[in-house]
Amino acid sequence: MALIDDLAEATPQLELDRRKALGLLGSGALALAGLGTSIVGVQYLWPNVLFEEDKRYKIGRPEDIPVGQVVVLPREKIYLVHLNEGFAAITAVCTHLGCMTRYESEERRFFCPCHGSVYDLEGNVTGGPAPKKLPRFQVVVDKGVLMIDASKVMDPDFVLKV
């Protein structure tokens, strides 16, 4: 039996069309992979920085807040309480599971509606499943204005004496 040289014979037109299609498909896949790699490379060189908002808040003049008043800052999740000893900035986030507490002015307490934790105006736990008292933030007077710095957690008994 004689061997037939396939390369010497003429290639049918259908075979050429299939080879062209597969060649174009392979070239397209390589071009798409190169484009994706280029995009990722450019993104890698571009700075990717997260800008966080300032955690310092101006409240007002200390003499404008009477003793016993609670200033509620819902967006900042902070209570500013003017105690007999001075000012205390207390977080509004429950220490049990991180729920938002609310100030109940009639009972003069902070209450977590989700799981029933109860705190007094100093942040001490008076009821419910909360394991510890509400943390306090730094309070300072700068140029006659009360400022809360929520990035600095203070001792549990910290009070700004004015």
Structure confidence by residue, pLDDT tens digits, 93-106 = 999 888 899 999 89
pLDDT mean across residues, the chain: 87
The reported pTM is 0.67
Q: Is the pLDDT of residue 11 over 80?
A: no
Distance of CA 120 to the CA centre of its chain: 28
Q: Which of 86, 89, 92, 87 is nearest to 104 (CA)?
A: 92
CB distance 138 to 148 below 8 Å: yes
* pLDDT class of 33 with cuts at 50, 70, 90: very high
Taking the alpha carbons of 126, 137, 156, 86 in that order, is the dihedral positive or negative?
negative
**CATH number of this structure's domain 56-154:** 2.102.10.10
Span 48-93, pLDDT tens digits: 887 778 788 898 898 888 998 999 999 999 999 999 999 999 999 9
Instruction: Give me the residue spans of the domains in the chain.
Output: 12-49, 56-154
